[in-house]
Chain A
Amino acid sequence: MLAPGRAKPKPTPETKHFWDGCKDGKLLLQRCGDTGKAYFPPRPFSPYTGTRNVEVFEASGRATLHSYVIHHRPVPGFTPPYAIAVVELEEGPRLMTNIVDCEQTPEALVLDMPLEVAFTPMDEEITLPLFRPAKGS
């Protein structure tokens, strides 16, 4: 369970499946019916072609570290220094997250390092898709 104080997301009709998936330990993305390309954040149509023919699918949870900052000032729910990261999922989309089970230093946080999703509950309603260094790397 995460320390209290973080901004808590409030799902909408268009994003509920994503947050329900996180609670069930599944990282759910959507795929465009025209191009086959995955996209994020969730919406019930394709940002590539506008088609409403889209499907939800479970992503592998594998990602690489695309970029980040290490914040050095206090924020409710966080102990500085902490990294605010963007990861690139194996399926293509990127998302913001935190990197856990890892020193929050430039030496430990190496761009393009392999990561895996680490679902971490905020409370009974919301589970966040955080990431950690991939096992065996």
Chain B
Amino acid sequence: MLGRGEIAVVGAAETTQLGAIPGMSQIMLHADAALNAMADAGLKPSDIDGVACVGPMMPQQIAHYLGITPKWVDGTGVGGCSFMLHVRHAAAAIHAGYANTILITHGESGKSRINATPRPAEPEGLNGQFEMPYGPFGPPTLFPIPVLRYMKTYGVTHEDLATVAVVQREWAGKNPRAMFRDPITVDDVLNSRMIAYPFRILQCCLVTDGGGALILTKSDRAKDFPTKPVYILGTGESVETNMVSQMADFTSSRAFRVAGPTAIEAAGIDRKDVDHMMIYDAFAHLPLYGLEDLGFCKPGEAAGFIREGNTRPGGKLPLNTTGGGLSYTHTGMYGMFALQESVRQMRGTAPAQVPGAKVSLCHGVGGMFSASGTIVFSNERP
């Protein structure tokens, strides 16, 4: 059994730039982040013996490009939370002795689309047969499909869903690397351009270029590294369905309800022990579902929890402290950036640092509620 805090993050970095990076192809974004993470950890490619990144045929591309000879690889690709699953799988692999020092990379030319992963139409697939004929056009038309049902069930208002974006912009204002930093109001959100009712553009994630990388090893070795180790206390993962129309309950994600509590239980913490939280916010409803499905709010109460200021700067549960996918950055698979912020908060180096934070919970979503991964970090080894 993997022990609490047995594995640590000893290297973490984002790409040198975020936003529009027309001078780098997608594989170079992986490499730029990886080189920065190796520099952060004081390691060379020859020190890495495990590689994880998203997608079929990708681990070999990244390993070869970086000059790494891995004895363990993971190409799990379940959408934007894949990196949470990579962390979980890597921790288990290190525990099992399959590898000692694992590099997890993300790079995505989401905006500039240089060597970006193509998204082929699959007319024979279940999505191609039973969703695509009805006019979806990317995540903004699919991810919000459950929202009206959630609003009706719990009496959540358009103003509540606008408030999520307003609060996150407050955090973004404290982050020099955030793409959008100017304060916004609920009226600004509700008057912004309609994309797919009920969501307007300020309730939809950014589309950027960027990447990030993490390096994991045994905590017993972590004192040999230049940075403060960030310990992995608990992890969880799950999937539900790749068709948003088929999720069992439009007001709650089954994948969230499995991954989140699994991680919290493995970490051996109470929810009140969580000092800092990241919930992947591809769209404005995600933080609400996350807070409820992970047990931080009762069903239907997350909107009030956010409205009352609990997740704002100075609130009792600082949430999405970069500004999140709505304001900080979103390459297409934002989960890596949520993990990076949890690591910064645990190191005490975040631009919007939560004073004295000891436990950070990082929760990711993949696809349209189709997958989930959760990691609980701490800067104290149990």
| Residue positions of A touching B, CB distance < 8 A | 6-12, 15, 19, 40-41, 66-73, 75, 77-78, 81-82, 84-86, 94-98, 106, 111, 122, 126, 128
Decide if B144 is an interface residue (CB 8 Å cutoff).
Answer: yes
Assuming the contacts A94-B245, A111-B152, asked whether A66 and B250 have C-beta atoms less than 8 A apart, the reply is yes
Docked Cα-Cα span, A95 to B246, in Å, equals 7
Docked Cα-Cα span, A40 to B131, in Å, equals 12
One digit per residue, 1 when the CB lies within 8 angstroms of any chain A CB and 0 when it does not, for chain B 232-244 equals 0000000000010
> Can you name 29 A-B pairs with beta carbons within 8 Å?
A6-B135, A7-B121, A9-B128, A9-B129, A9-B133, A10-B123, A10-B124, A11-B124, A12-B129, A67-B147, A68-B148, A69-B144, A69-B147, A69-B148, A69-B197, A69-B198, A71-B135, A71-B141, A71-B196, A73-B137, A75-B135, A81-B194, A84-B141, A94-B245, A94-B246, A96-B243, A98-B134, A111-B148, A111-B152
**Chain B residues with Cβ under 8 A from A75's Cβ?**
135, 137
Decide if B184 is an interface residue (CB 8 Å cutoff).
Answer: no
Chain B count of residues within 8 A CB distance of the other chain: 34
**Chain A residues with Cβ under 8 A from B194's Cβ?**
72, 81
Q: Is the CB of B145 within 8 A of A73?
A: no
Decide if B130 is an interface residue (CB 8 Å cutoff).
Answer: yes
Decide if B195 is an interface residue (CB 8 Å cutoff).
Answer: yes
Q: Which of A19, A67, A77 contacts B135 (CB 8 A)?
A: A77
Closest to B130 in A: A41
Decide if B309 is an interface residue (CB 8 Å cutoff).
Answer: no
Decide if B199 is an interface residue (CB 8 Å cutoff).
Answer: yes
Further pairs besides A86-B245, A94-B245: 8, Cβ < 8 Å: A40-B130, A41-B126, A69-B141, A69-B144, A71-B137, A82-B135, A84-B135, A85-B134
Q: Is the CB of B199 within 8 A of A67?
A: no
The DSSP consensus for interface residues of chain B is mixed
Q: Which of B129, B131, B199 contacts A69 (CB 8 A)?
A: B199
**Chain A residues with Cβ under 8 A from B196's Cβ?**
69-73, 84
Closest 8 CB pairs of A and B: A7-B132, A9-B129, A70-B197, A67-B149, A96-B245, A10-B123, A69-B196, A10-B124
A118 CB, min distance to chain B CBs, angstroms: 13
Decide if B136 is an interface residue (CB 8 Å cutoff).
Answer: yes
One digit per residue, 1 when the CB lies within 8 angstroms of any chain A CB and 0 when it does not, for chain B 69-104 equals 000000000000000000000000000000000000
Decide if B146 is an interface residue (CB 8 Å cutoff).
Answer: yes
B289 CB, min distance to chain A CBs, angstroms: 14
One digit per residue, 1 when the CB lies within 8 angstroms of any chain A CB and 0 when it does not, for chain B 142-158 equals 10111111001000000
Docked Cα-Cα span, A1 to B174, in Å, equals 54
B83 CB, min distance to chain A CBs, angstroms: 28
Docked Cα-Cα span, A50 to B366, in Å, equals 26
Closest to A109 in B: B148
Docked Cα-Cα span, A96 to B247, in Å, equals 11
Closest to A66 in B: B149
Closest to B131 in A: A96
**Chain B residues with Cβ under 8 A from A72's Cβ?**
193-197
Docked Cα-Cα span, A114 to B346, in Å, equals 52
Cβ < 8 Å to A, chain B residues 101-136: 121, 123-124, 126, 128-136
**Chain B residues with Cβ under 8 A from A77's Cβ?**
135
A15 CB, min distance to chain B CBs, angstroms: 6
Docked Cα-Cα span, A40 to B134, in Å, equals 17
Docked Cα-Cα span, A45 to B207, in Å, equals 40
Docked Cα-Cα span, A111 to B123, in Å, equals 29
Closest to A69 in B: B196
Docked Cα-Cα span, A19 to B126, in Å, equals 13
Docked Cα-Cα span, A73 to B201, in Å, equals 12
**Chain B residues with Cβ under 8 A from A84's Cβ?**
134-136, 141-142, 145, 196
Q: Is the CB of A98 within 8 A of B135?
A: yes
**Chain B residues with Cβ under 8 A from A66's Cβ?**
149, 250
Docked Cα-Cα span, A75 to B243, in Å, equals 20
Docked Cα-Cα span, A102 to B146, in Å, equals 20
B356 CB, min distance to chain A CBs, angstroms: 41
Q: Is the CB of B149 within 8 A of A6?
A: no
Closest to A86 in B: B245
Q: Is the CB of A78 within 8 A of B133?
A: no
Docked Cα-Cα span, A78 to B135, in Å, equals 7
Assuming the contacts A72-B194, A72-B197, A96-B245, asked whether A9 and B132 have C-beta atoms less than 8 A apart, the reply is yes
